[in-house]
Amino acid sequence: MKTSFCLGAACLLALLSCNSLKLPTHAGDLRLEHQGTGLDGSEREEPPEGPARDTAVYLSAVSVPSGYDWHRDTACGAAACRLVLLRNYETVCSFPSGYDNCVSTDPDTHHLLGGRLYTEFSTQSETVLKCNGEELFRYEGREKLRGLLLRDGAVYTLGQDRSGHGCSLRRNGVTLFHSERGRIAGDFSHPAGKGNGALYEQGGHLYFAFFPDENDPRNCCLVEDGYATYLTPPDDLCTLFDLRMGPDGPWILYRDVTSIMLRTGTKTHRLTLQYWNYGAIADTEDMTLHGEMDLGAGVLGFTYLYKKGRGIRFLRGRGHQVFPFPEGDFASVQQTDEGGVCICSPEETLFQRDSCLFFSRSCADVLGTRLLAGLSPFAAGAKPFVWDGGERRELELEGFLTGLEVVLTPARTEGDLLPDQP
């Protein structure tokens, strides 16, 4: 399926290391309270200047038995599979999946972060977090992670109960914030997630957005370092798209009766756009927004807006995962309705393949002006590959890719490929 493009000419707004992670020896005086107990508030120290750094591409994949059709999965999840972590296409480590090992083959449970492969797993009563196959911690309750962040030698998780209600912020498995109701705003598919999902840092603080009342989207709050601050929504708010802490205060992207509005701190910007079906704040540093909008006659365009006079560009069709480059251009990966993958720039189709899967935006990253996308053909015996700026790099395994991350790492010597374990 050929994807067509159009470029918008109007400008909408002129304004517009691998250090080991160590778990604490004691839990501390933390209590399970709705408002949380907060973090310790200590000043963060800048890391010392380290050795020379180089660029590495990390991949996570599921390796299946030779000839096994993982797309049909006739073994119903019981096939003898292994999770594999690769660095620059060479295997770093691998470990078996399965209930007894508390490791799932579901790509949504795999998280590449800092060159390590974190996996989440729910037993009948607990949630288990592992790193490179080694258990970090487990806690009571069956949760699905919506955020994961490494900070000051600790692992922070943001989980939502498998029922879809409530949330918990934890540090090394110990609860900092907990609510039995409500929902988290965002997950690992958010364009600003960058591997951390709905959990992020801004100005030295830890944030996520939360809706305490699922029936009232106007009732929203930002949780900062474990403390919830309830926000007063704009009076003209009809539909709330996104909420995020920016450098000048809370940013709110919403629709009023006629337009799309962006509140940044104390300022409000009116975007001369209508018919948005979805919108997200992709970057608060250069005011990057993206979303899907109805351009009329049922045609949907995937939109990016840049602050510095770049205006708006459209890619026709649903489901574009857009990846901006530092200089302002971008590329996108689209899983087509026909079961194929299309990689596009604003001007042309760069790659197209039928019978192929791109699981999520966690399977792609940007290196300079190159897009790297991990793709998985689902014919039996086919090997997954990375589309790297026009070149194809095939993996020496049968199965599927679940994640791709470009990171700067300390220069390593041969035989020192395994990242330090937390």
What residue numbers bound the domain in which 292 lies? 237-328
3-state DSSP assignment of residue 162: coil
Domain assignment of residue 125, yes or no: no
Beta bridge partners of 62: 83, 400
Enumerate residues 6+ apart whose C-beta is below 8 A from 1.
336, 337, 338, 340, 342, 352
Domain assignment of residue 285, yes or no: yes
Position 33 confidence tier, pLDDT thresholds 50, 70, 90: very low
pLDDT of residue 296: 60
Domain assignment of residue 251, yes or no: yes
Q: What is the C-alpha separation between 291 and 307, in angstroms, rounded?
A: 15
CB 410 within 8 A of CB 50: yes
Q: What is the C-alpha separation between 280 and 289, in angstroms, rounded?
A: 6
pLDDT digits (tens, 9 = 90+) for 386-409: 999 999 999 999 999 999 999 976
**pLDDT at 161 > cutoff 50:** yes
pLDDT of residue 62: 97
Quick one: which of 361, 402, 365, 367 has its CA closest to 190?
361
Domain assignment of residue 381, yes or no: no
pLDDT of residue 9: 30
Domain assignment of residue 249, yes or no: yes
Q: For 111-127, what is the mean pLDDT?
A: 97
Domain assignment of residue 407, yes or no: no
Average pLDDT score over the chain: 81
Q: For 70-78, what is the mean pLDDT?
A: 82
The number of folded domains in the chain is 1
Domain assignment of residue 297, yes or no: yes
pLDDT digits (tens, 9 = 90+) for 175-198: 999 999 989 999 999 988 889 999
